[in-house]
Chains A and B, each alone.
Chain A
Amino acid sequence: MSRRGANKSGTRSNETTAGWLFTAPALIILGLFLVIPVLMAAWVSMSDWNGRGSPFASTVGFVGSDNYRQVLTSEGGLQARDFGTAMRNNFWYVVLVVPLQTIASLYLAVLVNRKVLRGRGFFRTAFYFPSVTSSVAIVLVFLFLFSGSGAVNQILGWVGINGPNWFADPRGVLQLLLGTVGIDSAPSALLDHGFLSISWWEWLAGPSVAMSALVLLAVFTTSGTFMLLFIAALQNIGGEIEEAGMMDGANGWQRFRLITVPMVRPTLFTVLTLGLIGTWQVFDQIYVGTQGGPAKTTITPAYLSYTASFQQQNWGQGAAIAFILFFVIVVLALVQRWVLRERTTVSRRKRYLPAQTGGGQ
C-alpha cells in the first residue's frame, strides 16, 4: 500500500474494491474447485447417496453420523476392520517415512552444499531426479527391483541374505523381529483389546514387508524435493556464523547440531508438515503398485475411500473416510506445530548467566 492511500480515505476505498477485484479470480477458482466440493463431500458423508444422479436430489436422505459410525465403531463389521487396518498400515508408513525422508534430505542437502564438493551440480541434479520423475514409472521400476528374483534380492544374495518376496509378503516387520527373540504369539491382553476394530497385536505387527518396500520408495522419491528446500535454507546461513563456531572450537558435528539445525528450523517445520500431510494421503503407489495387497497390508485410508466409493458404490462411507483422514491430518499437524514451537526462554541448563532470561538465539 502506498502512503497516498493511507492519507486519503476516498482513494483507499477504491483500492479496497480494486483489491477484491484483483483477488476475485483466485477466490472464485478456490471457491468453485475447493470450498464447494469440500462442502458437497461433507454433505455426501452424511447422506445415503448411492452414486446415481445428483447428491442433492430429493430422494437422497440425511443419515447423520451413520457413515462415520460404520467405519469407526465395531458395528460396521468388515468395513470397520478394513478402516482400522488401513489406519494401522498408514500409521506405520508415516512413522517410518517422515523421519527417514527428513533426515535423508537434510543429509543430502548438507552434502551437496559443501563448497569443496566437485561436480555439485551433477549431484544436485541426480538427487533431485526421482522427484521430477512420474511416480507411476518409479513404482513400476520398484516392482521389478523388489520382485522375488529382482535386483534387490540378488544383491542381498551376495552377502548371504535370502531376501523376502517383497511385494507378496504380508508379514509384519515388527512381529518378525519379535519372532526372532521368541515372541511369536500374542498375550491375550493384546488380542482381546484394540483400537478401531483391530486388536493391539495387529497394531503391533508393524508395516508389512510389502509396505516397507513402499516406505523405501517414498523416501527415495521425496528426499530430493525436500533436499531442495534445505539447500535454500542452508544458503541463507552466512559463512561467518560457521566461522564463529569454528573459532569457538566446535567440531563438525557440534556445528551441525548447534548451528545448522537451529538455523534451518523454519524449513524443518515446513518439511515435516508437508511430509506428514503427504504420507497420510498416500494413494498412487497403492493404486498402481499393490492394490492394497498382500493380505490388505497396504490398504490406506485414501485408497479405501476410493474403493468404497468407486467400486462398492458406498459413496457416503468413502466421503466419511476422507473426512476422518482430514481431521487426523489437521490434529497431527497442530500437535507437531506445538512440539516444534519456538521457545522464548532458554532452559536453565543452557543459560550463560544465572539471572538472565531470553535471547537464546
Chain B
Amino acid sequence: MNRTLSASAALTLVATLSLALSGCGGGGGFDGESAAPEQEQTGPVELQVLIGSSGPAETDAVTAAADAWADESGNTAEVVAAQDLNQQLSQGFAAGSPPDVFYVSSDLVASYAANGSIEPYAAEMENADDFYPNLRAAFTVDDTYYCAPKDFSTLALVINTDSWTAAGLTDADVPTTWEELSAVAEKLTTDTQVGLTTSTEYQRLGAFMAQAGGGLVSDGTATADSAENVEALNYVKSMLDAGTMKFSPDLDAGWAGEAFGTGKAAMTIEGNWMIGALAADYPDVTAQFAPLPEGPAGPGTLTFTNCWGIAADSQNKEAARQLVEFLTSSDQQLAFADAFGVMPSVQSAADPWRAANPEAAAFLDQADYAVAIPNNEGISDVVADLNAQLESLATTGDPQTILDSAQSNLEPLLGS
C-alpha cells in the first residue's frame, strides 16, 4: 500500500513537472516555428533597438536620433545599450523575440545569416548605392547583401608630433613606403621610446599583408600562406628584430593607443577612434594622422565596420528598415560622427566630414582601397588562433609556420 502511495505521489510529481514544462511551451519559448509570425503590424509600432555602445556619448546620440525618427514617423523606438551584445542577441534569437534593430559586426554577419536570424533588407534601401562598395561587401554573404553599414573605421599611421620634431623630422619625412617607415622608426627610437608600436593581431598586421598584396581569403579561396603574406610578416619581424618596433604588451600597455599616449612609442597604427581616445585620456599629446605607407603592391589598410541588423523574426521589418534609412542618412551619420567620432559609411557625407575634421582626413582618404576582415562563417575562430600565434612573432615565431597553420585552419571553412 505504501508503495502504491509513493507511486501515485511520483505520478503527481511527473504530472506537475510536465505541466510546468508545457507551461513553458505556452510561453512561446519552446513551441517551434510559431514564434515567428510573418504578418506585418499596421499602425504605430514599437521598435526595440539594441546597440553595443562605446559609451554614454554614443548611447545618447543614438537615442536622440531614434527619438527624432519616432516623432517624425509617429512610431516609437526604444534604444537599449547592451552589456554583452552577442549574448543578449543570442538570447533574443533563441526565444524568438529578438530586438528589431541591432548592431552586427562584419565577422559575425555570416553566422547570423547562416541560421537565418537576420533579414537581408539592405539592397532595397533608398540610399543603397550611397554606401562604400567595400563596406557593402563586408556584409554580403553568398551574394546576398544583408545589412547596411552604420559607420566605419580605417587604420592610419598615428605620429607623435613632439617626438617627430625632436628627432629632426619634418612633414616631408612622413613615410610613404616600407623603407621610409623603417627609416623613421629607427630615427624615432630612443632609450625611453620605441619608433613604432601596434598590437599582436591580424586586425593590425593584416594592413601590412594588404600592402604586400596578400590577404587571408581571395576570391573564395584560402590564401593565408601566400608569399605576399609571408613577405609582410617578414617585414614586420625585421622591424621587431631591429628594436625599432615593439608590440604594445611588451611596452606594458593595454593597447597600442596607451603605449602611444604615454610616450612609450612615437608612432602607432590605429583607427580613427584614436582621435577621441587621445582627447579624453592624453590631452597633452599632439598627434598627426597619415595614410599607412605603401607596400610592394601599393597602398593598403584594413577597415572595421558594424551594420544595422534587422531581425528576421521582427514583426515590424518595414518600420525597422525606415528607421535604418533614417539612421544611415548623410545628415544623421554626420551627427553621429560629431557626437562620437565615427566615419560616415555613405559617400555623400565624405566631403562635409572632411571639412569638419580636416586633421583626420587621412582615415577617410584610405576608404576606397581599405579591405574588411573576411566574413566567412567561422572565420573569427581562425583569426583568434592566428592572433594567438602572432604573439610569438617578436620572439620565436616564424612567419611561414604561423601562416601555414592559419592556412590549414582556413581551408576547411572555405571548402565546406
Q: Which residues of A contact B (CB under 8 A)?
A: 9, 12-13, 16-17, 20, 24, 27-28, 31-32, 35-36, 50-59, 77-79, 81-82, 147-149, 165, 168, 170, 292-296, 309-313
> When the two chains form the complex, which single residue of B32, B36, B252, B385 contacts A147, counting CB atoms closer than 8 Å?
B252
C-alpha gap A147/B253 in the complex (Å): 9
CB of B96 closer than 8 Å to a CB of A:
yes
CA A56 – CA B412 in complex, angstroms?
A: 29
Contact of A9 among B1, B94, B252, B381 (CB under 8 A): B1
- For B12-35 the 0/1 string (1 means CB < 8 A from A) is 110011001100100001111101
Query: Which chain A residues border B116 with CB–CB below 8 Å?
Result: 52
Known contacts A9-B1, A17-B5, A32-B20, A51 near B30 by CB under 8 Å = no
Of B36, B94, B382, B388, the contact of A51 (CB 8 Å cutoff) = B94
Residues in B neighbouring A168, C-beta threshold 8 A: 249-250
Task: Name the B residues within 8 Å of A147 (CB-CB).
Answer: 252
The 3 closest A-B pairs by CB, nearest first: A148-B252, A50-B115, A168-B249
Question: Nearest CB to that of B378 among chain A residues?
Answer: A312
A28-B20, A149-B252, A168-B249 known; A313+B90 contact, CB < 8 A: yes
Query: Nearest Cβ in chain A — how far from B387, in angstroms?
Result: 8
Task: Pick the residue among A32, A50, A55, A78 that contacts B114 (CB under 8 A).
Answer: A50
Minimal beta-carbon separation of A25 from chain B (angstroms):
11
**In the assembled complex, which residues on chain A have CB atoms less than 8 Å from the CB atom of B412?**
77-78
**B97-118, CB < 8 A from A:** 108, 111-112, 114-117
Q: Establish whether residues B252 and A51, one from each chain, have CB atoms under 8 Å apart when the complex forms.
A: no
Q: Which residues of B contact A309 (CB under 8 A)?
A: 90
Question: Given A16-B5, A24-B16, A313-B114, does the pair A53, B32 have CB atoms closer than 8 Å?
Answer: yes
Tell me if B391 is interfacial: C-beta within 8 Å of chain A: yes
> Cβ of A54 and Cβ of B96 under 8 Å apart?
yes
Kindly provide the distance from the CB of A298 to the nearest chain B CB, expressed in whole angstroms: 11
Name the A residues within 8 Å of B111 (CB-CB).
Answer: 312-313
Docked Cα-Cα span, A293 to B248, in Å, equals 14
| Residues of chain B contacted by A313 (CB below 8 angstroms) | 90, 111-112, 114-115
Give 20 A-B contacts (CB < 8 Å), ordered by A residue. A16-B2, A36-B24, A52-B116, A52-B117, A54-B29, A54-B31, A55-B30, A55-B94, A56-B32, A77-B408, A77-B409, A82-B381, A168-B249, A170-B388, A170-B392, A294-B391, A309-B90, A310-B90, A311-B86, A311-B380
Contact B36 A53 (CB under 8 A): yes
B9 touches A16 (CB 8 A): yes
- In the complex, whether B218 has a CB less than 8 A from a CB of chain A is no
**A310 B32 Cβ-Cβ under 8 A:** no
Q: Quick check: A51 and B117 within 8 Å, CB to CB? A: yes
The answer for the CA separation of A184 and B324 in the assembled complex, in Å, is: 57
B139 beta carbon closer than 8 Å to chain A: no
Min Cβ gap B95→A in Å is 9
Minimum distance in angstroms from B382 CB to a CB of chain A: 7
Contacts of A28 in B (CB 8 A): 16-17, 20
Contact status of A294 and B249, CB under 8 A, knowing A13-B1, A20-B12, A313-B112: yes
Interface residues in B368-416 by Cβ distance below 8 A to A read 378, 380-382, 384-385, 388-389, 391-392, 408-409, 412
Most buried by B among A13, A78, A292, A312: A78
A36 and B36 contact, CB distance less than 8 A: no
Q: How far is the CB of B348 from chain A (nearest CB, A)?
A: 34
CB of B83 within 8 Å of the partner chain: no
With the chains together, A13 CA to B86 CA distance in Å? 53
Cβ–Cβ < 8 Å partners of A296 in chain B:
384-385, 388
Q: State whether the Cβ of B170 lies closer than 8 Å to any Cβ in chain A.
A: no
**Choice from B1, B12, B20, B93 contacting A52 with Cβ under 8 Å:** B93
B6 sits at the interface (CB 8 A):
yes
A56, closest chain B residue (CB): B30
Contacts of B93 in A (CB 8 A): 51-53
B87 within 8 A of A: yes
Chain A residues near B87 (CB, 8 Å)? 310
Q: Which residues of A contact B380 (CB under 8 A)?
A: 311-312
In the bound complex, CA of A312 to CA of B17 (Å):
33
Please determine whether A312 and B16 come into contact, CB atoms closer than 8 angstroms: no
Complex: how many Å from CA A13 to CA B408?
68
**Do A20 and B115 contact each other (CB < 8 Å), given the known contacts A53-B32, A294-B249?**
no
Report chain A residues within 8 Å CB of B17.
28, 31-32, 35-36
Q: A28-B20, A296-B384 are in contact. List 15 more A-B contacts (CB 8 A).
A: A13-B2, A20-B9, A36-B20, A36-B24, A51-B93, A52-B94, A52-B116, A52-B117, A58-B32, A82-B381, A170-B392, A294-B388, A295-B388, A295-B391, A313-B114
Provide the residues of chain A in CB contact with B392, threshold 8 Å.
Answer: 170, 295
Chain A hits for B36, CB < 8 A? 53
Nearest-neighbour CB distance to chain B for A245, whole angstroms, equals 50
Q: Which residues of A contact B6 (CB under 8 A)?
A: 16
Shortest beta-carbon distance from A180 to chain B in Å: 17
Other-chain contact of B5, A13, A53, A170 (Cβ < 8 Å): A13
Chain A residues near B312 (CB-CB < 8 A): 52
What separation, in Å, do the CA atoms of A9 and B269 have in the docked complex? 83
A17-B5, A165-B249 known; A78 and B382 CB under 8 Å?
yes
Given contacts A13-B1, A13-B2, A78-B409, contact A54 B16 (CB under 8 A): no
Which residue of A13, A31, A59, A149 is within 8 Å of B20 (Cβ)?
A: A31
Cβ–Cβ contact B90 & A51, under 8 A:
yes
CB within 8 A of B33: which of A57, A148, A170, A311? A57
Closest CB-CB distance, B302 to chain A, in whole Å?
Answer: 20
Q: Considering only CB atoms, which chain B residue lies closest to A53 in the complex?
A: B96
B112 / chain A contacts, CB cutoff of 8 Å: 313
| Contact residues in A for B389 (Cβ distance below 8 Å) | 295
- A296 CA to B112 CA in the complex, in Å? 25
Task: Across the interface, name the chain B residue whose C-beta is closest to A13.
Answer: B5
CB-nearest residue of chain A to B21? A36
Contact residues in B for A310 (Cβ distance below 8 Å): 84, 86-87, 90
Query: Distance (Å) between the CB of A87 and the closest chain B CB?
Result: 16
Rounded to whole Å, the gap between the CB of B128 and the closest CB of chain A is 26
How far apart are B44's CB and chain A's nearest CB, in angstroms?
A: 27
Query: In the complex, which residue of chain A has the Cβ closest to the Cβ of B13?
Result: A27
Among A20, A27, A58, A59, the one with the most B-chain Cβ atoms within 10 Å of its Cβ is A20
